[in-house]
A and B are shown apart, each in its own frame.
Chain A
Amino acid sequence: DGGITQSPKYLFRKEGQNVTLSCEQNLNHDAMYWYRQDPGQGLRLIYYSQIVNDFQKGDIAEGYSVSREKKESFPLTVTSAQKNPTAFYLCASRRRQGVGTDTQYFGPGTRLTVL
Chain B
Amino acid sequence: AQSVTQPDIHITVSEGASLELRCNYSYGATPYLFWYVQSPGQGLQLLLKYFSGDTLVQGIKGFEAEFKRSQSSFNLRKPSVHWSDAAEYFCAVGASGNQFYFGTGTSLTVIP
Partner-B contacts on A (CB < 8 A): 4, 6, 33, 40-43, 45, 48, 50, 56, 58, 88, 90, 92, 97-109, 111
A6 to B46, CA, bound (A): 18
Q: Are A40 and B41 in contact (CB under 8 A)?
A: no
| Smallest beta-carbon distance A21→chain B, Å | 13
Q: How far is the CA of A43 from the CA of B44 in the complex (A)?
A: 10
**Assuming the A-B contacts A40-B9, A48-B98, are A90 and B104 also in contact, with contact meaning beta carbons closer than 8 angstroms in the complex?**
no
- What is the minimal beta-carbon distance from B35 to any residue of chain A, in angstroms? 11
Instruction: Contact check, A42 vs B41: say whether CB atoms are below 8 A apart.
Output: no
Q: Is the Cβ of A90 less than 8 Å from the Cβ of B43?
A: yes
- Min CB–CB distance A47 → chain B (angstroms): 11
B32 and A100 contacting across the interface, CB-CB below 8 Å: yes
- Contact call B90/A98, Cβ cutoff below 8 A: no
User: Are B104 and A100 interface neighbours, CB within 8 A?
Assistant: no
**A residues in contact with B42, CB < 8 Å:** 108-109
Some 26 contacts from A to B, beta carbons below 8 A apart, are A6-B43, A40-B104, A42-B90, A43-B90, A48-B98, A50-B98, A90-B43, A92-B44, A98-B97, A99-B96, A100-B95, A100-B96, A101-B32, A101-B94, A103-B34, A103-B46, A104-B92, A105-B46, A106-B36, A106-B43, A106-B44, A106-B45, A107-B43, A109-B42, A109-B43, A111-B41
How many interface residues does B have (CB within 8 Å)?
Answer: 25
Q: Is the CB of A98 within 8 A of B32?
A: no
Contacts of B9-66 to chain A: CB distance below 8 A? 9, 32, 34, 36, 41-46, 49, 51
Q: Tell me the complex Cα distance, A102–B95, Å.
A: 10
Task: Answer whether residue B84 sits at the interface, using C-beta atoms and an 8 A cutoff.
Answer: no
Bound-complex Cα distance A52 to B7 (A): 38
Known: A41-B104, A42-B90, A56-B98. A101 touches B43 (CB 8 A): no
- Pick from B43, B51, B94, B103: contact of A108, CB below 8 A: B43
